[in-house]
């Protein structure tokens, strides 16, 4: 397979080929991606790291889909659930047309997974995609033997609600791969795709994370409380929620990981994680998912 820039690396496959979707990871993001794909009629296999994690992931999907049915967003939760299998063996992804990685925001873990997926997924036309928030796609592509089929497809939390998806080809991603992904995201899933260059943070996080970090520094310095910072942005700038509440929703560990990736690439002080953020992550105060971050949440 040629690795030249612009090589399509495919043999004429179209968006209609994407009928079997795999998702690796069934946390908040992975479960959300699996849900929107199944709601769009796709056959979905989700793989978690253990049987216990798979059971927890299945429970997360069931709860979300039953809430969606209660609110009239879907007619039948069971019909959607029937399209989803949650497994603990990567080999179950062998026949997938598209696999989306949604594991921890750690470069070593992601590169190891892409090496494994390259060996497991049998179709040479299958797209191997990452939902990374910040890690350059090139670093994932080059560990595979099919870099033309590797790209970023970055969803936003909560996935069933937010309509944006960032499409991130690397220098080696085939043009046809990108267009198949675009058609899947927009025509099959009904979301809005924007194009991003393969640089840390892409579009949204490159703008958002420095804003969030600035709010953390303001609180850390004693200049204002978390409540007043967030209230100021909600009522004074018409933001739907304040930056510290948003950090809790994103997850403070993810916020820190994205900041570190941005700082590693650009070496600009505005990307450096504040000490308070690092201490909170060390303490396990990660936001909504742990019940406590800048605010406390019911468990």
Place of tokens 């007619």: 75
> Burial letters for 214-239: b for 16+ Cβ neighbours within 10 Å, e otherwise?
ebbbbbeeeeeebeebbebbeeeeee
Interatomic CA distance for residues 143 and 44, integer angstroms: 25
Catalytic residues: 133, 154, 166, 205
Place of tokens 């809005």: 192
Helix axis angle, 252-266 to 275-282, nearest 10° = 130
Give percent helix, percent strand, percent coil of the chain, each to the nearest 5: 50, 15, 40
Residue 185 sits at φ, ψ, to 5 deg, of -65, -45
Place of tokens 């099959």: 188
Interatomic CA distance for residues 101 and 278, integer angstroms: 25
């Amino acid at each position: 397979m040629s690795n030249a820039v612009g090589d399509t690396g495919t043999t004429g496959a179209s968006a209609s080929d994407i009928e079997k979707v795999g998702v690796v990871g069934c946390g908040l993001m992975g479960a959300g991606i699996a849900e929107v794909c199944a709601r769009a009629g796709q056959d979905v296999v989700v793989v978690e790291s253990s049987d216990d994690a798979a059971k927890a992931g299945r429970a997360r999907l069931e709860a979300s889909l039953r809430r969606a049915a209660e609110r009239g967003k879907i007619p039948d939760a069971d019909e959607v659930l029937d399209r989803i299998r949650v497994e603990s063996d990567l080999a179950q992804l062998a026949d997938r047309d598209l696999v989306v990685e949604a594991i921890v925001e750690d470069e070593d873990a992601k590169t190891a997974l892409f090496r494994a997926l390259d060996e497991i997924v049998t179709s040479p036309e299958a797209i191997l995609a990452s939902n990374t928030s910040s890690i350059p796609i090139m670093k994932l592509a080059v560990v595979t033997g099919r870099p033309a089929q590797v790209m970023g497809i970055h969803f936003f939390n909560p996935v069933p609600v937010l309509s944006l998806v960032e499409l991130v080809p690397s220098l080696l991603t085939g043009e046809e791969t990108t267009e198949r992904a675009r058609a899947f995201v927009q025509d099959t899933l009904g979301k809005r795709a924007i194009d991003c260059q393969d640089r840390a943070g892409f579009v949204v996080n490159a703008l958002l994370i420095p804003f969030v970090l600035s709010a953390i520094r303001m609180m850390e310095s004693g200049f204002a409380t978390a409540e007043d910072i967030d209230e100021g942005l909600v009522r004074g700038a018409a933001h739907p929620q304040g930056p510290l509440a948003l950090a809790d929703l994103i997850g403070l560990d993810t916020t820190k990981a994205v900041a570190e990736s941005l700082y590693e690439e650009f070496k600009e002080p505005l990307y450096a994680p504040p000490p308070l953020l690092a201490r909170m992550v060390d303490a396990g105060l990660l936001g909504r998912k742990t019940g406590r971050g800048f605010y406390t949440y019911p468990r």
